[in-house]
Amino acid sequence: MRATVRSTVRRWVPDHPVAWVTATAPALAGLVAGTEYGRPTVAAFWLLACWVLCYCVQFTVVRWLRSGFARRYRNPVLVYCAALAAVGVPFVVLHPGVLAWAPAFAALIAASFVAAYRRRDRSLWAKGMVVAASSLMPSLTYAYGMLGSGAGAGAGIGGIAGAASAVSLGDWTSSIPPMSDMGMALFRYFFVTQFGSVLFAGTMSGSGGGRRRLAVSWAWHAAFVVWSVLGPLLGLGPDSSLGSQAGPWIVAVALLLLARAVVLPLLGRLRPIRPLVTGAVEGVSGLVSFAGSMGLVLASA
C-alpha cells in the first residue's frame, strides 16, 4: 500500500528538493525585492503560483517525453496543463504585457523538451536552458511586486523607475514588465550560482566527473569570485551599483560555492560520497545562494 502511494505521489509531484529550490528561489527573490517598495500584491503572488505550475508542467512533460510517451505519465501532464490554463489565462487577461516575455520562455522550455525527447535532458545545455528560464523570473515578479507601491515610479533605482506604472492596466504595450536593473542583477546572480551547481553536480556524478568537468567547474566558480570582487569596483554591468552595496554578501556566497566545488570532488576521489550527501550539500548551497540574493534586495531598499 505504501509503495503504491509513494509511486502515485512520484508521478504527480516533482520529488527533487534541489530542483524545487532552483525553480522557485529566483522568482521568490524578485517578489521579495518588489514588495520592499510597498505592500505585497495579488499580482505578484498570482504570478508566483503560475510559475510553480509551469515548473510542474515542465517536469511532467519532460518525464513523459523521455519515457517515449508512456501512458502512466500522460495524466499528470494533462491535469497540470489544465491547472496552468485555469490559473494563468485570467492573469494574462488582466496583465497582457506579460506575453511580451513569452517568446523567450517558450524558446528555453522548448529546448528542454527537445532535449528530453532525445533523452539529453541531463546534458549541460539542457540544464542551462532551464536555469536561464528560472533566472529570468525575478524581472517579472519584481515588476508585479512593485504594483503595491504608490511611490514605485520614484523608487530611485536606475531602470526601475516607472516599473509600477509600466505594468498597470492600460494598453498592451504600456503593460509590458521592463527588464529592470534589479531584474538584471538577479538574473546574472542566479544564472551564475545555479549553473555553477549544475557543473558541481556533474563533477560528483557516478562517472567521477573527469578532469575536464572538474576544471570547468573550478574555473566557473573562480570567475564568480573574481566578478563578485572586481565587478562592482570596476563598474561592470548595469547592476554594479547594487553589487557594490551588497558586495560582502555576494563575495561570501562566491567563496562558499568555490569551496564546495573544490573540496567535495577531491574528497570523493579519496572516498565515495553518497548521492544523499551530495544532494544535501546542493540543497544547502541553494539556500545559501538565495540568502545571498537578499543582499542585492537589501542593497536596493
- pLDDT for 294: 86
Confirm if 43 and 144 have CB atoms less than 8 A apart: yes
Read off the DSSP letter of residue 67: T
Instruction: State the residue for C-alpha cell 512593485.
Output: 146
pLDDT in tens, the chain (301 residues): 565 656 667 778 887 888 899 999 999 999 998 876 556 689 999 999 999 999 999 999 999 999 999 999 999 999 999 999 999 999 999 999 999 999 999 999 999 999 999 999 889 999 999 999 999 999 999 999 887 655 443 343 333 444 444 444 445 666 788 888 888 889 999 999 999 999 999 898 765 557 889 999 999 999 999 888 887 676 655 456 555 556 688 889 999 999 999 999 999 888 888 888 888 899 899 999 999 988 877 766 6
211 & 171 share domain: no
User: How far is residue 107's CA from residue 93's CA, in Å, rounded to a whole number?
Assistant: 22
137 & 250 share domain: no
Last residue of a domain, one of 179, 202, 226: 179
111 & 197 share domain: no
Give the CB-side neighbour count of residue 129, counting CA atoms within 13 A: 20
**Residue 5 contacts by C-beta under 8 Å, 6 or more apart in sequence?**
none
Range of the domain at 286: 180-301
Nearest-CA neighbor of 54 among 119, 8, 98? 98
Q: What is the DSSP string of 92-152?
A: HHH-GGGGGGHHHHHHHHHHHHHHHHTT-TTSHHHHHHHHHHHHHHHHHHHHHHGGG-TTG
143 & 276 share domain: no
Last residue of a domain, one of 133, 161, 179: 179
User: How far is residue 72's CA from residue 191's CA, in Å, rounded to a whole number?
Assistant: 33
173 & 184 share domain: no
What total number of domains does the chain contain? Answer: 2
Confirm if 260 and 200 have CB atoms less than 8 A apart: yes
Last residue of a domain, one of 179, 203, 234: 179
202 & 134 share domain: no
Max CA separation in the chain (angstroms): 62
- pLDDT for 48: 96
84 & 175 share domain: yes
70 & 105 share domain: yes
Q: What is the DSSP string of 163-183?
A: HHHHTSSSSTGGGPPP--HHH
Can you say whether the dihedral through the CA atoms of 237, 240, 243, 247 is positive or negative?
positive
106 & 212 share domain: no
223 & 292 share domain: yes
Q: How far is CA 289 from the centre of its chain?
A: 11
154 & 223 share domain: no
Model pTM score: 0.86
Backbone torsion region of residue 179, taken as left when φ is above 0, otherwise alpha when ψ lies between -120 and 50, otherwise beta: beta
Beta strand extents in 16-112 (DSSP E only)? none
User: How far is residue 290's CA from residue 292's CA, in Å, rounded to a whole number?
Assistant: 5
172 & 222 share domain: no
At residue 11, the 3 state secondary structure works out as helix
